[in-house]
Structure 1
Amino acid sequence: MTDTVDTTAADRALKGRHRAMWGLGDYPAVARDVIPELGRVLVAAAGVRRGERVLDVAAGSGNAAVPAALTGADVVASDLTPELFDAGRAFAAREGVPVTWEEGDAEALPYGDASFDVVLSCVGVMFAPHHQQAADELVRVCRPGGRIGLLSWTPQGFVGEMFRTMKPYAPTPPPGAQPPPLWGDEQHVRGLLGDRVTDVVARRQTVTSPEYASPEAWRDWWKTVYGPTIAIYRGIADDPARTAALDHDLAALAARYDRGTGSTVMDWEYLLLTARRA
């Protein structure tokens, strides 16, 4: 009994830290300025249609939810961090579409079994720490014959490398927590979903970053907008040597991926995976 209580308390604390982390900086600016096309790509791949009931899991500020609503679907956007919803509501209002915004944990979705025709997540559910638990929820709330669509950063792409670069500077993750970029590994996701899905289609694609003046300019901007990076820098703020080392490592990573001429431009790889609920 004590172990169960301790595990539950630790899980609540972890979720609290995740919620606070994604409230740092300006994630809506990342969604708007860096990856605006990804939601549209996912919605198209999942074949969202007018009249379908759609759930966007770990929706953030609606990168996939709003494009889904633009098809005429009935969309619910769920996220652990409701602080992002004001930006999402403004996005939906600009596009002239209704979206329902509801707080929810991807590992314990507050919806009944088989509630949705389509379940989506655009670089969202990958950050839930317990992958199998989150995958089970995606499947549970999708009706038989419905579709699941996932877009996740790959381990070998820029964002996966970025998380590896930051890992030595971050606190040790709690037992059972898995690295987010594993959701960008096709075999890992197939294993999570198992024989509960059919018609799996997976392909790796890239999104091109905006132009930055230099690798250092990208790093300095990223330090102000992206919650996980901000949290890591705060954790080492009293150690100037480690801070300088992370500054160097992130700029070096961006320089390695830089394919621009006179400015820094990068291609960031992701896995796009769709499946049908068996």
Structure 2
Amino acid sequence: MTTQNDTAEADRALKTKHRAMWAQGDYPSLAAEVIPGLGATLVEACGVGPGQRVLDVGAGSGNAAIPAALAGADVVASDLTPELFEAGRRAAEQRGARLTWQEGDAEALPFGDGEFDTVLSCVGVMFAPHHQRAADELVRVCRPGGTIGLLSWTPQGFIGRMFATMKPYAPPPPPGAQPPPLWGDEDHVRALLGDRVTDLRAERRTVRIERFDTPETFRDYFKERYGPTIAVYKNLADAPERAAALDRDLADLARDAGLGTGPDGTALEWEYLLCTARRAG
């Protein structure tokens, strides 16, 4: 029989695993080199400005937190993986942004009820394994009338398809864990937030990626820098034939998306869902 202590211990082990996954590779450089503008896009959509108290959940190295601070807000950047903060601090200093960095689990945020005017997450909270817990926390720490803003990769878009490509090569997810790209499905987000928010607006957009010139360049870049991809390859350490198959599948994914082929062969279009809502009450 599974006890409450067993469940808590399993959850702690899962979070330790997640923290280690994002600490490996070099996510800060990937965010800065491949998707540098996404955080600012979310900040603008949320109407962040001077005098606001803002929380960035799953902030990583500050892709959204730094633009929010530059907009004049009082910002806290929170992440399960504080190893990412050093790169964020350097980037903030270089850009003249002042903000607070605080370790925190998106499913159990270390902040008070209604503490923030705006709670946002740019491809961050979507990686918390238990979606409803994370959504409950986003709502809890946002003040009534405040803004919740989310930018997430869609299941149908390139990154969603990349996770689907890697899934057969990864170990089975733990019980209760949900796929990250579900946060890019409007119906899923509406169900998570429910009637605790009003004025929910959702828009699918794309970001143009011109960082890679061949499918293999894309694959090798993610193998070296992106924690989830690194973790899947580590799972295949004793299965070189399966690792080679994943090599082919990831390159084929990029090739099928047009990378390396056709007149526009150095660009990829990555789809995301941009959501904003008001906390009810």
Name the TM-score, length of structure 2 as normaliser: 0.97
Match of 2:267 among 265, 268, 274: 265
Structure 1 residue aligned with 2:210: 210
Cα gap change, 1:85/1:204 in structure 2, threshold over 3 Å: closer, same or farther?
same
Distance (Å, rounded) in 1 between the aligned partners of 2:259 and 2:141: 42
CA positional deviation for 1:212:
1.6
Structure 2 residue aligned with 1:68: 68
Distance (Å, rounded) in 2 between the aligned partners of 1:179 and 1:92: 31
Structure 1 residue aligned with 2:182: 182
User: Match of 1:107, SS?
Assistant: coil
Distance (Å, rounded) in 2 between the aligned partners of 1:221 and 1:233: 13
Structure 2 residue aligned with 1:113: 113
Ranges in structure 1 where 5+ consecutive residues have no aligned partner: none
Ranges in structure 2 where 5+ consecutive residues have no aligned partner: none
Matched, 1:12 2:18: no
Task: Kindly indicate whether the alpha-carbon contact (under 8 Å) linking 2:212 and 2:266 is maintained by their aligned counterparts in 1.
Answer: yes
Matches within 5 A, 1:36-55: 36-55=36-55
Distance (Å, rounded) in 1 between the aligned partners of 2:104 and 2:266: 37
CA positional deviation for 1:213:
2.5
Distance (Å, rounded) in 2 between the aligned partners of 1:63 and 1:258: 27
Give, as a single letter, the amino acid of the residue that structure 1 aligns with 2:101: W
RMSD in angstroms over aligned alpha carbons?
1.1
Distance (Å, rounded) in 1 between the aligned partners of 2:17 and 2:268: 30
User: Match of 1:60, SS?
Assistant: coil
CA positional deviation for 1:210:
2.3
Distance (Å, rounded) in 2 between the aligned partners of 1:233 and 1:209: 24
Structure 1 residue aligned with 2:227: 227
Task: Kindly indicate whether the alpha-carbon contact (under 8 Å) linking 1:215 and 1:264 is maintained by their aligned counterparts in 2.
Answer: no
Task: Kindly indicate whether the alpha-carbon contact (under 8 Å) linking 1:258 and 1:265 is maintained by their aligned counterparts in 2.
Answer: yes
Task: Kindly indicate whether the alpha-carbon contact (under 8 Å) linking 2:40 and 2:64 is maintained by their aligned counterparts in 1.
Answer: yes
Matched, 1:140 2:140: yes
Distance (Å, rounded) in 1 between the aligned partners of 2:257 and 2:266: 9
Give, as a single letter, the amino acid of the residue that structure 1 aligns with 2:94: R
Q: Percent sequence identity over matched residues? A: 70
Distance (Å, rounded) in 2 between the aligned partners of 1:262 and 1:192: 38
Distance (Å, rounded) in 2 between the aligned partners of 1:262 and 1:129: 36
CA positional deviation for 1:30:
1.2
Task: Kindly indicate whether the alpha-carbon contact (under 8 Å) linking 1:33 and 1:210 is maintained by their aligned counterparts in 2.
Answer: no
Task: Kindly indicate whether the alpha-carbon contact (under 8 Å) linking 2:215 and 2:259 is maintained by their aligned counterparts in 1.
Answer: no
Give, as a single letter, the amino acid of the residue that structure 2 aligns with 1:269: E
CA positional deviation for 1:49:
1.1
Structure 1 residue aligned with 2:23: 23
User: Match of 2:250, SS?
Assistant: helix
Distance (Å, rounded) in 1 between the aligned partners of 2:206 and 2:2: 46
Of residues 28-37 and 256-265 in structure 1, the stretch that sits farther from structure 2 once superposed is 256-265
Structure 1 residue aligned with 2:91: 91
Distance (Å, rounded) in 1 between the aligned partners of 2:132 and 2:171: 23
User: Match of 1:36, SS?
Assistant: coil
Distance (Å, rounded) in 1 between the aligned partners of 2:216 and 2:223: 10
How many residues align structurally? 278
Structure 1 residue aligned with 2:278: 276
User: Match of 2:217, SS?
Assistant: helix
Give, as a single letter, the amino acid of the residue that structure 2 aligns with 1:267: E
Task: Kindly indicate whether the alpha-carbon contact (under 8 Å) linking 1:211 and 1:263 is maintained by their aligned counterparts in 2.
Answer: no
Distance (Å, rounded) in 1 between the aligned partners of 2:99 and 2:254: 36
Matched, 1:59 2:59: yes
Distance (Å, rounded) in 1 between the aligned partners of 2:216 and 2:34: 17
Give, as a single letter, the amino acid of the residue that structure 1 aligns with 2:19: R
Give, as a single letter, the amino acid of the residue that structure 1 aligns with 2:183: W
Task: Kindly indicate whether the alpha-carbon contact (under 8 Å) linking 1:19 and 1:80 is maintained by their aligned counterparts in 2.
Answer: yes
Distance (Å, rounded) in 2 between the aligned partners of 1:9 and 1:182: 26
